[in-house]
């Protein structure tokens, strides 16, 4: 029950799914930059696939900022993007 002058604040959703995928993606970029570019690209593609898995498994509220459109669209888009990044990383010659 709100008292006069109080403002109702929306429920805050946790942003750990986005933070986790960003950390894995940054790890892939570090590997790409300092060690082996192909392994870094594959780790980065894995972070995008992880985002797709998290979006598919979590509720809309729990997914936080991973939720852009509908669950099916987001999941499909993330998995296709991860596959494209991995495929390009594997096909580009040294």
Question: How much is the pLDDT for 4?
Answer: 66
Closest CA to 55 of 69, 38, 41, 34: 69
Percent of the chain with pLDDT over 90: 66
- Give the tens place of pLDDT for each residue, 57-92: 998 888 888 888 999 999 999 999 999 999 999 998
Question: How much is the pLDDT for 1?
Answer: 57
pTM assigned to the model: 0.82
Neighbours of 65 (CB within 10 A): 11
Does 43 have pLDDT greater than 70?
Answer: yes
What distance lies between CA 79 and its chain's CA centroid?
A: 10
Does 10 have pLDDT greater than 60?
Answer: no
């Amino acid at each position: 029950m709100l008292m006069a002058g109080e403002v109702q604040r929306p429920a805050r959703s946790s942003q750990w799914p986005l933070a986790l995928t960003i950390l894995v993606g940054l790890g892939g970029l570090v590997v790409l930059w300092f060690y082996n570019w192909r392994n870094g690209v594959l780790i980065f593609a894995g972070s995008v696939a992880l985002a797709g898995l998290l979006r598919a498994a979590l509720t809309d509220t729990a997914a936080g900022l991973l939720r852009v459109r509908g669950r099916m669209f987001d999941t499909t888009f993330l998995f296709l993007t991860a596959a494209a990044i991995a495929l390009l990383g594997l096909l580009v010659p040294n």
